[in-house]
Structure 1
Amino acid sequence: MAKILMIEMKPSENSNLLQDFLNSFITRKKTPIKMDPENREKEEILENLNRAKRDLDVANANFEFAQDEGLVDYYIYEIKAAETKYQYLLKKAREKNINVTNFENVHIWNRNKKI
């Protein structure tokens, strides 16, 4: 059988310790990680690429389930806009020598242009 270890504390001490711990944990400020401007720009490009890919995926999914003709046209426009943004960010990432191999297998409708 397991034994339970009990520590005897006065209620006022216990509540103060717990309250102090919770206050220090909740009010603790996060110190931002300092990055040099080049790394910060690379991180922003990768975050924007992730966001653009997610937007493109959502637009494609919405297009697949659209039934109204007006919505179909809208989602075609949305897909085209998301693709254009995605292609721009890929081009920008390559110019900065950022590894984009994880982003190159995305289906783009019109691949006539070289990115």
Structure 2
Amino acid sequence: MNRHTGETIADEDHIAQSLVDILSTRIGTRVMRRDYGSLIPDLIDQPLNPANRLRLYAASAAAIMQWEPRITLAMVRLDVDSLSGAAILEIEAKHNDTNAPLSIRSQVQLGAAL
């Protein structure tokens, strides 16, 4: 079900929606499931340096592997527009039931605001 409209959505769209939910949820904020989510919200306003890029990749991969059993993760990449500061997290995976490739792009907020 689409979280915004309530309409039925395809399996691939549901996986994409679930990934965005997993990655944007701070660990410890879900009642009765305190370990759900990722460490990505803790990286907001951190400098966008190589060490924090690595932390972002690790936080994404760990959360996806733990909370989304329908896919096998292949790649996580961060694409940053140096002028606007916008960051897009690109996820490449394989759907476990069909072996179909899956590509998800999600915006993340990183780096201190001016």
Does the pair score TM above 0.5? no
- Report 1 or 2 for greater relative contact order, CA contacts < 8 Å, sequence distance ≥ 6: 1
TM-score between the two structures when normalised by the length of structure 2: 0.32
TM-score by length of 1: 0.32
Rg larger in 1 or in 2? 1
